Amino acid sequence: MGLFSDVGRKFEETKQSLTDTQQPEYVCTSCEELVREDFEYCPHCGEDSVEAAA
């Protein structure tokens, strides 16, 4: 990943942790990152493998 992608991802994670107390309900099966919303593509790795968390 590029520098700006890394910084943007870290910023978004920090912002969400400070403003949102909901637990992630979805997970990417490719990179195994937790996702708070049902995205068509994973915001972390870009794969189309976001599924409901068990």
As a whole number, mean pLDDT of residues 5-10 equals 82
As a whole number, mean pLDDT of residues 5-15 equals 81
CB of 33 closer than 8 Å to CB of 27? yes
Q: Which residue has the higher pLDDT, 19 or 41?
A: 41
At residue 39, the pLDDT reads 84
Residue 36 predicted with pLDDT over 60: yes
Instruction: Report which of 16, 17, 41 is spatially closest to residue 29, judged by C-alpha positions.
Output: 41
CB of 12 closer than 8 Å to CB of 42? no
As a whole number, mean pLDDT of residues 2-29 equals 77
Q: pLDDT tens for residues 16-35?
A: 766 665 666 899 999 999 88
